Chains A and B, each alone.
Chain A
């Protein structure tokens, strides 16, 4: 059985998407992967889920540098929607940033679990807690 049922990957780079999808499949990390190109698309998707009263993904992998709406803007919008949901996904920022300010920013969002350095690896996935640990942050 997969570790998770639904995860969301917000990423605009094709190769990164390919690498993530492949590694998630290989290690049976999640049953389903939903891809969104940027923050705006991701917010729209979550809005839809909330409206349809469907469960949110358990994990969100989030890139920062994206066109239209970047990772930070997504997080601001997302936290506004939070009051409406019963349980919250674990959010991992997936980035190749070297800017210490980005880590500070990441910490300022209470919804962010941690920052993972690209590329996504088996070790990253192993360190992410299972379903029972959701909301234990």
Chain B
């Protein structure tokens, strides 16, 4: 078995077996190396042979439906290039496949093998065809603005009607929308419209007409003719499309033909296009002037109504003509071309179209149009009446026409060229046609033109990208025809149409089929293969999108050098487990990986041991970037922890408050139990009453404290202002004048870092009072008490520190409870045990924190952290 280097087809075959596409990989002698399940299905559908590894693929498909592959593969190898083409399998089940032949090239540019991919695109082709059909009809109908145009549901409820309905029925469009068209129809004609509706429902997409009476705005019954089609199943339309107009005053007899005549008369007045209408006996019913003057088909005799067409036909052509009309009366449309040399020996080529004319369900006649397609001046008109367009009866064209000479230089361009390319005809004429083609398509267009020159009777049609004057790319379809044999043209006629919109739809369809390519090449998932030491031997192109590294340059680098040290050990363990065979596949929790910018990205994924898989021979690491998720997750975790903490705080608060309310109540109850109710004069009752007062006051104080804390906790909007610390301190010091003097407390300050903070003034005042009061209360009597107040900037915080030289606090013992509610640590000092609790609550409400450092008999430092950028 040959050694195959890594290419993404290998990877697909090896570990994207989940794809719906068929794959097979051959070595350079066409021996089968590997294939997926889908290939087996594909192979057995179109051949009677079986497929097995190491067998010769060419031998196995020789003489089968798949034989066409042989030539294609050989061609690829000969030309040393990959090939992608569409192929319609000509046997049942008839399917379209996009086929990719991909050469596997080794480092020495030698062909090591071939990968073949088969992607079923039948659905796409069919859908695209349908869209193309309906789009045309839709446009044609809308743009024919003299008629009313409307969209209804399958019960004729009007969803949309064009403004032109006013001309036909006198109603404003708004008056009709949401109403049922059926209600407007004359009672005697309701059967007619039901039949018509039934017909178009049964025959989707096909156009069908009906004439009936309808009530207009002035309550008159008028005759209208409706042409419509069922496009309910066409995406983007999903409606019955109707086009109708006033035909009041027309004879009721021979409606269909008369209508056809009238319609054609309208459409084809002043045109050089000839038309003839014949009835079911092939007698001419009507014709236009052009037919008399130009139609070569009936050149021999003067045209007139009632003349049999067969009498105008050469005997030698008779059989052919009869066959032709039989086809038309079967409901088919037939297009023919004829050559004709006139009296002056000038050759003309005509295109004739034969279309059935329907009245109700019956074909009552044939509509024949003939166009001279030789004269280049008529090229535009010819387009307007191109065969495709006849299907809608309505004259509308978006095709531009270009004629190029032998050197592929544009010699003629229709004005519509401007609509497609943005260039005027003058700007295009004289330049090489190829200049207007997107670089990716130049080659194929040149090939196609070359082919036309070799094969004069072929018509080349291809989809291609065009370059608009604005440099924008537009999708077009190009149809080209060799007309060198016509002296008037002496060139190739090229019709071009803008199909960007359709292409976009097609591309959307293609997306689903390309999902595996998307995965490997353009998606967010990265696929890397490392050896058993962690050195990279392959990186998918997506690495570039996620990490910014060039996949090629990654080869040989060891992944562990890029993994964050904190996760490295764990991942090395994983690798070891894989190599030892403890596990085949391991899920990777998010880990950090250095990207090209030297920043860590969070990746997660799976790692699989495919060391024993011949096509891979490595550890496959499948990862994707979850940095955004990870950051979001971390944020959520922090939030959750905060919520849990808040909840715990609240619970704690409720326990403490209930305890503190119950304590004085318990005292009152205890006292009440002791009260001597039999003998009020009992001397102890006096004592109890004093104690009652005391206990009641205790209860009152507790309630007031709790209310204070509750208010603090429930305050939602806290006023923030710029506070000058020096000023505030002065104010606080004066309110504590007595205590400061009595204790001989000295206050020193250092506000050099910042003298102002953004804070709530009441809070900061309360904090200062509490801090100073504590320092005074717990001063040391061994030395002159000093408290030093300072500020410091620490990243996002301003630290306001109160450092005293007092007794200090045994933090090891009291640390946990220091800021809790109702905690007192000194018997000698009075206090409710609320001060530090309130300070902590206020600091927290401002988004900060409080820290304490203390040494017994040296002093205490309280640090208030104030958010530098306060947002409350």
Give A residues with C-beta under 8 Å from B.
12-16, 18-20, 22-23, 26, 37-38, 65, 67-68, 95-99, 101, 117-122
Write the nearest CB–CB distance from B14 to chain A, whole angstroms.
59
Residues B826 and A119 in contact, CB atoms below 8 Å apart: no
A38 to B654, CA, bound (A): 25
> Given A96-B662, A98-B658, A99-B655: A19 and B827 within 8 A (CB)?
no
Residues B666 and A118 in contact, CB atoms below 8 Å apart: yes
Residues A118 and B673 in contact, CB atoms below 8 Å apart: no
A96 to B662, CA, bound (A): 6
Residues A68 and B655 in contact, CB atoms below 8 Å apart: no
Residues B824 and A67 in contact, CB atoms below 8 Å apart: yes
Residues A120 and B662 in contact, CB atoms below 8 Å apart: no
Residues A38 and B674 in contact, CB atoms below 8 Å apart: no
> Main SS of the interface on chain B?
helix
B671 within 8 A of A: yes
> Given A15-B691, A15-B695, A119-B669: A65 and B659 within 8 A (CB)?
yes
* Contact residue among B652, B673, B827 (Cβ-Cβ distance under 8 Å from A67): B827
For residue A96, which residues in chain B have a CB less than 8 angstroms away from its CB?
Answer: 659, 662-663, 665-666
Residue pairs across A and B with Cβ atoms less than 8 A apart, 29 shown, are: A12-B827, A15-B670, A15-B694, A15-B695, A15-B698, A16-B663, A16-B666, A16-B667, A18-B671, A18-B687, A19-B673, A22-B674, A26-B674, A38-B827, A65-B822, A68-B825, A68-B826, A95-B659, A96-B663, A96-B665, A96-B666, A97-B659, A98-B654, A98-B658, A98-B659, A99-B652, A117-B666, A118-B666, A118-B670
Write the nearest CB–CB distance from A28 to chain B, whole angstroms.
15
For residue A68, which residues in chain B have a CB less than 8 angstroms away from its CB?
Answer: 825-827
A67 to B829, CA, bound (A): 10
For residue B833, which residues in chain A have a CB less than 8 angstroms away from its CB?
Answer: 67
For residue B663, which residues in chain A have a CB less than 8 angstroms away from its CB?
Answer: 13, 16, 96, 118
Residues B658 and A23 in contact, CB atoms below 8 Å apart: no
* Contact residue among B671, B698, B826 (Cβ-Cβ distance under 8 Å from A19): B671
Write the nearest CB–CB distance from B209 to chain A, whole angstroms.
86
For residue B698, which residues in chain A have a CB less than 8 angstroms away from its CB?
Answer: 15
Chain B 303-330 interface 0/1 with A at a Cβ cutoff of 8 Å (1 = within): 0000000000000000000000000000
For residue B674, which residues in chain A have a CB less than 8 angstroms away from its CB?
Answer: 19, 22-23, 26
Residues A67 and B670 in contact, CB atoms below 8 Å apart: no
For residue A97, which residues in chain B have a CB less than 8 angstroms away from its CB?
Answer: 655, 659
For residue A99, which residues in chain B have a CB less than 8 angstroms away from its CB?
Answer: 652, 655-656, 659
- For A41, the closest partner residue in chain B by CB is B827
For residue B652, which residues in chain A have a CB less than 8 angstroms away from its CB?
Answer: 99
* Contact residue among A19, A38, A98 (Cβ-Cβ distance under 8 Å from B670): A19
Which residues 814-844 of B sit at the A interface, judged by CB distance below 8 A? 822, 824-827, 833
Which residues 149-201 of B sit at the A interface, judged by CB distance below 8 A? none
Chain B 846-864 interface 0/1 with A at a Cβ cutoff of 8 Å (1 = within): 0000000000000000000
> Given A15-B671, A15-B691, A99-B659: A67 and B666 within 8 A (CB)?
no
Give B residues with C-beta under 8 Å from A.
652, 654-656, 658-659, 662-663, 665-667, 669-671, 673-674, 684, 687, 691, 694-695, 698, 822, 824-827, 833
Residues A13 and B659 in contact, CB atoms below 8 Å apart: no
* Contact residue among B656, B667, B670 (Cβ-Cβ distance under 8 Å from A23): B670
A120 to B698, CA, bound (A): 18
Residues B670 and A16 in contact, CB atoms below 8 Å apart: yes
Contacts A19-B673, A22-B674, A99-B659 supplied; 14 other A-B pairs, CB < 8 Å: A16-B666, A19-B667, A19-B670, A20-B670, A23-B673, A67-B827, A68-B826, A98-B659, A99-B652, A99-B655, A99-B656, A119-B666, A119-B667, A119-B673
A67 to B823, CA, bound (A): 7
For residue B658, which residues in chain A have a CB less than 8 angstroms away from its CB?
Answer: 98
For residue B662, which residues in chain A have a CB less than 8 angstroms away from its CB?
Answer: 96, 98, 118
Write the nearest CB–CB distance from A104 to chain B, whole angstroms.
12
> Given A37-B827, A68-B827, A119-B667: A98 and B655 within 8 A (CB)?
yes
* Contact residue among A18, A98, A121, A122 (Cβ-Cβ distance under 8 Å from B691): A18
Write the nearest CB–CB distance from A24 to chain B, whole angstroms.
11
For residue B826, which residues in chain A have a CB less than 8 angstroms away from its CB?
Answer: 67-68
For residue B687, which residues in chain A have a CB less than 8 angstroms away from its CB?
Answer: 18
A118 to B673, CA, bound (A): 12
- For A64, the closest partner residue in chain B by CB is B659
For residue A23, which residues in chain B have a CB less than 8 angstroms away from its CB?
Answer: 670, 673-674
Write the nearest CB–CB distance from A7 to chain B, whole angstroms.
17
Residues B667 and A13 in contact, CB atoms below 8 Å apart: yes
A119 to B674, CA, bound (A): 11
A16 to B827, CA, bound (A): 17
- For A117, the closest partner residue in chain B by CB is B666
Write the nearest CB–CB distance from A17 to chain B, whole angstroms.
10
For residue B665, which residues in chain A have a CB less than 8 angstroms away from its CB?
Answer: 96
A23 to B674, CA, bound (A): 7
A98 to B665, CA, bound (A): 13
Residues B669 and A67 in contact, CB atoms below 8 Å apart: no
8 nearest CB pairs, A to B: A119-B670, A19-B670, A118-B666, A96-B662, A99-B655, A98-B658, A67-B824, A15-B667
- For B694, the closest partner residue in chain A by CB is A15
Interface centre among B656, B659, B698, B826 (most CB of A within 10 A): B659
For residue B654, which residues in chain A have a CB less than 8 angstroms away from its CB?
Answer: 98
A23 to B669, CA, bound (A): 12
A20 to B669, CA, bound (A): 12
A22 to B688, CA, bound (A): 11
- For B814, the closest partner residue in chain A by CB is A68
A8 to B654, CA, bound (A): 31
For residue A38, which residues in chain B have a CB less than 8 angstroms away from its CB?
Answer: 827
A19 to B688, CA, bound (A): 9
A124 to B247, CA, bound (A): 109
For residue B666, which residues in chain A have a CB less than 8 angstroms away from its CB?
Answer: 16, 96, 117-119
Write the nearest CB–CB distance from A5 to chain B, whole angstroms.
23
- For A63, the closest partner residue in chain B by CB is B663
For residue A20, which residues in chain B have a CB less than 8 angstroms away from its CB?
Answer: 670
- For B651, the closest partner residue in chain A by CB is A99
For residue A65, which residues in chain B have a CB less than 8 angstroms away from its CB?
Answer: 659, 822
- For A21, the closest partner residue in chain B by CB is B674
A41 to B694, CA, bound (A): 25
- For A22, the closest partner residue in chain B by CB is B674
- For A121, the closest partner residue in chain B by CB is B673
For residue B694, which residues in chain A have a CB less than 8 angstroms away from its CB?
Answer: 14-15
A97 to B661, CA, bound (A): 10
Write the nearest CB–CB distance from B647 to chain A, whole angstroms.
15
Write the nearest CB–CB distance from A15 to chain B, whole angstroms.
4
For residue A37, which residues in chain B have a CB less than 8 angstroms away from its CB?
Answer: 827
A15 to B699, CA, bound (A): 12
For residue B670, which residues in chain A have a CB less than 8 angstroms away from its CB?
Answer: 15-16, 19-20, 23, 118-121
Write the nearest CB–CB distance from A113 to chain B, whole angstroms.
19
A130 to B657, CA, bound (A): 36
Write the nearest CB–CB distance from B540 to chain A, whole angstroms.
56
A19 to B667, CA, bound (A): 7
A117 to B658, CA, bound (A): 13
For residue A122, which residues in chain B have a CB less than 8 angstroms away from its CB?
Answer: 673
Write the nearest CB–CB distance from B703 to chain A, whole angstroms.
15
